[in-house]
Amino acid sequence: MALILNEEARMVRDTALEFFRERSPIVALRKLRDDNDPDGFDRALWRQMAELGWTGFLVSEDHGGSAFGLTGLGQVMEAAGRTLAATPLLSTALIGASLLELAGTPDQKDEHLPPLVAGERIFALALEETARHAPLTTTTRADSAHRITGTKRFVLDGHIADYLIVAASDGLFLVDANARGVTRTRTIMVDSRNAAIVHFDNAQAEPLGSLSHLETVLDRARACLAAEMLGSSSEAFDRTVQYLKDRKQFGVQIGTFQALKHRAAQMFCEIEVTRSAVTAALSALDENANDAAALCSLAKAKANDTIFLCGNEGVQMHGGIGMTDEHEIGFFLKRARVAQATFGDSAFHRDRYAALMGY
Partner 1 sequence: MTTPTTFRAETRAWLEENCPPAMRTRMPEEEQVAGGKRAEYIRPEQKIWLDRMAAKGWTAPTWPKKYGGGGLTAEEALILDEEMQDLGCRAPLRGMGLSMLGPTLLEYGTEEQRQTHLPKIISGEIRWCQGYSEPGSGSDLASLSTRAVLQGEHFLVNGHKIWTSNAHLSDWIFCLVRTDPTVKKHDGISFLLIDMDDPGVRPRPIKLISGKSVFCETFFENVQVPASHLVGQLNKGWTIAKRLLEHERKGIGGIGARQQAKFELPPEAVAKMHVGEIDGRIADPVIRDHIAAYSIDAHAFQLTRRRAAEEAESGAPPGPLSAMFKYYATELNKRRYEMLLEGEGFQGLGWEGEGFSEDELRFTREWLRSKANSIEGGTSEIQLNIIAKRVLGLPD
Tell me how far CA of residue 32 lies from CA of 36, 41, 86, in angstroms: 6, 7, 9
124 lies in the site for partner 1, by CB under 8 A: no
Region near partner 1 per CB under 8 A, out of 13-21, 186-194, 212-220, 351-359: 351-359
- How many residues are recorded in the chain? 359
Number of H helices, E strands in the chain: 11, 10
Residue 19 or 237: the one with the smaller Cβ distance to partner 1 is: 237
Does 133 help bind partner 1 (rule: CB under 8 A)? no
Closest CB to partner 1 among residues 258, 290: 258
CB of 99 to partner 1, least distance (A): 28
Considering only residues 186 to 205 of the shown chain, the ones binding partner 1 according to CB under 8 A are none
What is the spatial distance between Cα 351 and Cα 18, in angstroms, rounded to a whole number?
38
Distances (CA, A) of 159 to 15, 125, 172, 240: 30, 11, 19, 35
- Please state, in angstroms and rounded to a whole number, the distance separating the CA atoms of residues 100 and 103: 5
| Contact status: 262 vs partner 1 (CB under 8 A) | yes
Out of 15, 204, 253, 312, name the contact with partner 1 by CB under 8 A: 253
Say how far apart CA 271 and CA 290 lie, in whole Å.
Answer: 25
Q: How far apart are CA 205 and CA 143, in angstroms?
A: 10
CB of 294 to partner 1, least distance (A): 8
Rounded Cα distance between 355 and 334, Å, is: 31
Rg (CA), the chain: 20
Nearest distance in Å: CB 94, partner 1: 23
**What ranges in 172-257 are assigned the alpha helix state H?**
212-246
Size of the residue set binding partner 1 (CB under 8 A): 39
- 350 binding partner 1? (CB under 8 A): yes
End-to-end Cα spacing for the chain: 24
Q: Is 289 in the site for partner 1 (CB under 8 A)?
A: no
Using CB under 8 A, pick the residue from 261, 327, 334, 337 that binds partner 1: 261
Question: φ and ψ at 133, to 5 degrees?
Answer: -60, 120
Nearest-approach distance from CB 54 to partner 1, in angstroms = 25
Q: Given the complex with partner 1, which of 186 and 261 has the nearer CB atom?
A: 261
Q: Identify which range of 126-134, 170-178, 179-187, 238-246 contacts partner 1 by CB under 8 A.
A: 238-246
Is 278 in contact with 303 (CB distance < 8 Å)? yes
Query: Using the rule CB under 8 A, is 355 a contact of partner 1?
Result: yes
CA neighbor of 191 nearest in space, from 308, 330, 302, 56: 330
The residue within the footprint of partner 1, chosen from 72, 104, 255, 311 (CB under 8 A), is 255
Helix, strand or coil, per DSSP, at residue 103: helix
Q: 3-state DSSP call for residue 285?
A: helix
Considering only the stretches 2-10, 58-66, 146-154, 177-185, report the one whose residues sit in contact with partner 1 under the rule CB under 8 A. 2-10
Q: Which is nearer to partner 1, 168 or 244 (CB)?
A: 244
Cα(331)–Cα(21) distance, rounded to whole angstroms? Answer: 16
Q: Which residue from 63, 112, 213, 302 is in contact with partner 1, where contact means CB under 8 A? A: 302
Q: Which stretch binds partner 1 (CB under 8 A): 175-183, 189-197, 205-213, 265-273?
A: 265-273
Decide if residue 227 touches partner 1 (CB under 8 A).
no
Which helix (H) or strand (E) element contains residue 72?
Answer: helix 70-82
Q: 99, 224, 244, 307: which one contacts partner 1 (CB under 8 A)?
A: 244
Binding residues (CB under 8 A) for partner 1: these are 2-4, 241, 244-245, 252-253, 255-256, 258, 261-262, 264-266, 268-269, 272-277, 279-280, 298, 301-302, 347, 349-351, 353-355, 357-359
